[in-house]
Amino acid sequence: MNGNNESTTSENFIKAIIREDLKTNKWGGRVHTRFPPEPNGYLHIGHAKSICLNFGVAQEFGGITNLRFDDTNPTKEDVEYVDSIKEDVKWLGFDWADREYYASDYFEQLYEYAIELIKNGKAYVCDLSAEEIKNTRGTLTEPGTESPYRNRSIEENLDLFQRMKAGEFPDGAKTLRAKIDMKSGNLNMRDPVIYRIKHTEHHRTGNKWCIYPMYDYTHCLSDSIERITHSLCTLEFEDHRPLYDWVLDELGVYHPQQIEFARLNLSYTVMSKRRLLQLVEEKYVDGWDDPRMPTISGLRRRGYTPESIRDFAERIGVAKRENTVDLALLEFCIREDLNKRANRAMVVLDPVKVIIDNYPDDLVEELEAINNPEDASSGTRKVLFSKEIYIERDDFMENPPKKYFRLSPGQEVRLRYAYYITCTNVVKDDSGNITEIHCTYDPETKGGSSPDGRRVKGTIHWVSANHCLETDVRLYENLFLNEDPMQFERFQDNINPNSLQIVNAKAELFLKNAKVGDKFQFERKGYFCVDSKYTTSEKLVFNRTVTLKDSWAKVSGK
């Protein structure tokens, strides 16, 4: 598994091609790319790679980028998806200005082009069923067989195609096929279907059309109509490039260059929209924006920033070879970003009460805490301290092993920003669970250091029991247990049953003013953000974006 060994510099083979084209003036100095999502689902982190690449190279070379919805399949597409895609691209920080296009806007023109292909003897109406077309296509080692309808006259083809458009035939009764070569070594060139009949309403064109153009035919012509220069797509389209070129050459129209790059795969993640839709529909997650989803909206809700995702895209680079990127690299990127920006807070996720027996009953002290040690301009805040506090249950052990440096009977620890305390005894309930930990404190250690130079090995966080905020915190683990969930017959069977855990936590009071989307580092516990879905005026809900443990820096030797 590797993360960024192919390109840690910002140069990549696509930029090299563009640089060369600018030098030779191939496109008259223009760089014009497009991001062409099909509106059949929410965008995921793989799309983010493509967005950063398409918009990024155009920006770098003074070019422009279109947002084009590839909406040729009326049954799976939806306005909800169109809206979410626009929101996500904007959120990532990219701007398509007024260049928002839809392949469906070109249906009329694509139809005219099809007529032209028929007139040139380059397309024919075929009556074979989808099944029959598949069965006569041949294999990688055997040529296909020509359709018995292949040699219809141009007049008959024109008549039938017009009647297809007029709605005279039921779904699947006929197709329009490009007349190329049934013996081609490339299966995509064996008379591919370019139009099919589908009596289905389209989310933009309504019932105007009952024939719909296929992706391969539509995509190249849309690129051509928009005068795209570099049409960047993922590797699986490499074998489709001859067809892309054939359509444009046969019609003699403006001809962009298709360039393929490797798609992003991430460990512990399924990426395709079809599978993500399954997770949503089968209710393994609570929507496309569930914080465990690799969707852009899920990452946003989880607390990822656009900067961290753009940084990730830059670090993984762009290569010609498929690989799987370690999820830990994505987590590394958000830690890097939030470390600099997120204010610190003390929040106890699994509280147990500590009573400081020698602390005055009614005293409440204001102690000074640093908001962000990485950013001096963020200043300090006051934290209230009193006789009863909460600490994490696992910051105490009654019978600790040797190297346990946190609180245990007789052992002294530092309460962050407060005092040194020493445990004297514990109180348990009938089943043996600790309900109270009793301690004494050393008044001389205010602020967390001892005038006599006495050192403690452990520092733990805390909140004052009577001065804290109740909050729900949602803790996440990877959605899948295995690095490669697709190796299972049903990837759903590999879902991690502990991927979501909700705890009731005690937080520092100042957090009550936090707004949806605000981000914090909870000391020792990770980065968290205020959840947009479950937060109410009564209760704040936090998502853990990522823990503090960095497995990426270790792996990569940073």
Nearer to Mg ion, 47 or 335 (CB): 47
Closest residue to bound ligand ATP by CB: 46
Residue 399 main-chain phi, psi, to 5 deg: -125, 80
Residue 63's binding partner, choosing from ligand ATP, Mg ion, none, with beta-carbon cut-off 5 to 8 A by kind? Answer: none
One-letter amino acid identity for 35? Answer: F
CA 460 → CA 351, 421, 500, 518, distances in Å? 12, 11, 25, 24
- Contact range with Mg ion by CB under 5 A, out of 34-42, 306-314, 334-342, 346-354: 34-42
CB of 391 to Mg ion, least distance (A): 51
CB of 326 to Mg ion, least distance (A): 25
76 touches Mg ion by CB under 5 A? no
CB of 317 to ligand ATP, least distance (A): 12
Residue 507's binding partner, choosing from Mg ion, ligand ATP, none, with beta-carbon cut-off 5 to 8 A by kind? Answer: none
Residue 233's binding partner, choosing from ligand ATP, Mg ion, none, with beta-carbon cut-off 5 to 8 A by kind? Answer: ligand ATP
- Contact range with Mg ion by CB under 5 A, out of 33-41, 264-272, 464-472, 540-548: 33-41
CB 340 within 8 A of CB 374: yes
Nearer to ligand ATP, 81 or 124 (CB): 81
**307-311: Cβ within 8 A, 24+ apart:** 307/337, 308/333, 308/334, 308/336, 308/337, 308/338, 309/45, 309/48, 309/52, 309/92, 309/333, 310/52, 310/92, 310/93, 311/336, 311/337
Nearer to Mg ion, 244 or 542 (CB): 244
- Contact range with Mg ion by CB under 5 A, out of 38-46, 52-60, 115-123, 343-351: 38-46
CB of 551 to ligand ATP, least distance (A): 22
CB of 168 to ligand ATP, least distance (A): 32
Using CA atoms, how far apart are residues 391 and 24, in angstroms rounded to an integer? 67
Alpha helices in 252-354 (DSSP H): 273-281, 296-302, 306-316, 327-341
Nearer to ligand ATP, 260 or 508 (CB): 260
Number of C-beta neighbours around residue 445 at 10 A: 20
Identify the CA nearest to 511 among candidates 383, 353, 368: 383
Q: By the criterion CB under 6 A, which residues form the site for ligand ATP? A: 36-38, 46-47, 49-50, 233-234, 263-264, 271-274
CB of 517 to ligand ATP, least distance (A): 26
Identify the CA nearest to 106 among candidates 230, 196, 258, 217: 217
> How many chain residues interact with Mg ion (CB under 5 A)?
1
One-letter amino acid identity for 422? Answer: T
Please, which residues bridge with residue 19 across strands? none
Residue 367 three-state SS: strand
Using CA atoms, how far apart are residues 510 and 240, in angstroms rounded to an integer? 57
Element (H, E) at 355: strand 351-356
- Contact range with Mg ion by CB under 5 A, out of 30-38, 453-461, 496-504, 509-517: 30-38
CA 495, 498, 502, 508 torsion-angle sign: negative
The set of catalytic residues is 38, 263, 273
Nearer to Mg ion, 38 or 550 (CB): 38
277 touches Mg ion by CB under 5 A? no
CB of 436 to Mg ion, least distance (A): 59
- Contact range with Mg ion by CB under 5 A, out of 37-45, 286-294, 322-330, 450-458: 37-45
Residue 103 main-chain phi, psi, to 5 deg: -55, -30
38 touches Mg ion by CB under 5 A? yes
Residue 153's binding partner, choosing from ligand ATP, Mg ion, none, with beta-carbon cut-off 5 to 8 A by kind? Answer: none
Nearer to Mg ion, 38 or 156 (CB): 38
Nearer to ligand ATP, 257 or 445 (CB): 257
- Binding-site ranges for Mg ion (CB under 5 A): 38
